[in-house]
Structure 1
Amino acid sequence: MNTVFVVGSLNIDQTIRVPSLPRAGETIRGTDATFSPGGKGANQAVAASRAGAGVRLVGRVGHDAHGSAILQALAESNIDSSHVKLTDSASTGTAVIAVDDRGENQIILSPGANAALSVADVDAGLATLTPNDVLVLQLEIPPDIVRHAARIAKLRGAFVILNAAPSPQEIEGLFDDIDLLVVNEHEIQDLAVLADASGDLADLTEALPPVLGPAVLCTAGAQGAVTFLGNRHVHIPAPEVFAVDTTAAGDTFVGYLAASLAADCELPAAMAIAGRAASLAVTRPGAVESIPWRSQLPTLQNHDHKSPAPFLSHP
């Protein structure tokens, strides 16, 4: 069976609910803080596992209570965390998250042990990677580690997905060994500036690959996801739901997408499954705890791709 490998961040999320997100210099009274496992690497690994894939996660946590809580959550989601190393020199990464009444969020990251992830960690964690496997990467770990992991996977013939989040400050060599770049509507605009490209979301999924290298898939929350495939735009609408917390929605999408591709789904079908999972995740609070199991997803009636919606493409 094909495996999803994830090299990425593991954080403890400190979440505070607020009536509205604060402006610069503004103090907002919120609820008591809650602490839960998170980080884009951990979230995406959990999503891939709950989607049904075998998953190995490579990363670092501190030798502290938060690190122990994260390792327990990974075990409960059936993830091989034997290559998540304990770090004595740094505490577990932390994310401070404000979530407003509309489910939108603001996030501040302190990388902690994530910054200690090394080339040796990656080499050991990817030792069993095969051409049929999928590697998932994000940008909450050092860029040099991302480049190294992608290079190993490419040399072994695996399929490499990079979720370019947070947006990179520079892109030199970052996408050389990436097959599929997954970004949201803000991140794709940031990349467009770096690549000197312009257009709406659908336009950019077509314009960026010749410049950056990999195919580009853009998620746009309630408006669905779009990519450029086979000389045409593919738009998968999102189910209509009431959003409670969008914290791990993008990570849920990426993890489910990777698991579906590892199971040999075509990209439009994988996007449809991932969109359903992400839409269910936003109806629940938290990060890891909001990610659904595959059995909880609504039945998929149709995997066919559709024409881009007006917001995605010019008439």
Structure 2
Amino acid sequence: MTPSPAPRPPYDPELLAGAPVFPGAIDSPEPFAAYRARAQPTAAGLAPLMAELGLAHTEATVPLRGLPSMPDGAMTVSLIRPVDAPLTEALPAVLDLHGGGMVFGNRFDSFLPEHLRWAAEHRLVLISPEYPLAPEHRAPAGGEACFAALRWVEANAVELGVDLARLIVAGVSGGAGLAAAVALQARDLGGPALLGQLLVCPMLDHTGSTASAAQFTVARGVVDPWLQETNAYAWRMLLGDEPGEVHPYASAWVADDLAGLPASYVDVGSAEVFRDADIAFAQRLLAAGVDTELHVWPGGFHGFDAVVPGAAVSRRAVAARSAWLGRLLGP
């Protein structure tokens, strides 16, 4: 007899009631192309909330030279800053990396309402690069380009009004996987030193070998915007069909040594694909002596707080991240 699959943790009822109908698995070229063709967020679309919060948006160009994984070029970055903060005032900065499995999305996906409120509440600069996506640019191109953006911030800190003693890297989902890669590069390649890394439901594990990866699949009929079939397809686009030895800057899951990384915040839903890999990564950070805060939000599917922001568990998750930032940055 075929053994019955392991039961899944339940979804939070409030999240379940508020969730839309997700598109199913994006596991082949047709749904991938359709999803990429959907309307993308823009600066204009975010303008009303930025005006309400007293924030200003500017753009800059970061040169990309000498990256091992891609030819020389340039990358646009968006910068969000409180309008009443002159550039002579050095503010903390968050390199904010958008989600989308490293294969979808644009830099304005980073500026979720929650992140814009970080800039207002904690008086900081958000910096979001238009990093290269797979399959056009295989991993570790995205992580290397994001690290180049961090180095650019370091080189231009005075002009940008950034306090280099308070640099944080943050991301959601695929962007959080890139944030972990940036933190590894900053440690390994001579800085700049990071104060912290904030990893929200990070996409870390290319192997798909955990129990939670097996629990959240099309065959299990789950309600989730990121199923294991989609996850496996995204990693194939990132690494190729036969990736061979995978570098930690492509998949932080394979990093042997996590010592020396900055203070870390990791959170994930209990009812999603990335749960077990994210818990294991946080445990490894702790074992390596890294100051680490871990949250497993009960009943949360992937990206639950952005999809159903009014749910009680979503509000708790958003508040916990902001509180961690406040403690890290200090008065």
TM-score normalized by the length of structure 2? 0.29
TM-score normalized by the length of structure 1? 0.30
* Higher strand proportion (structure 1 or 2): 1
* Higher helix proportion (structure 1 or 2): 2
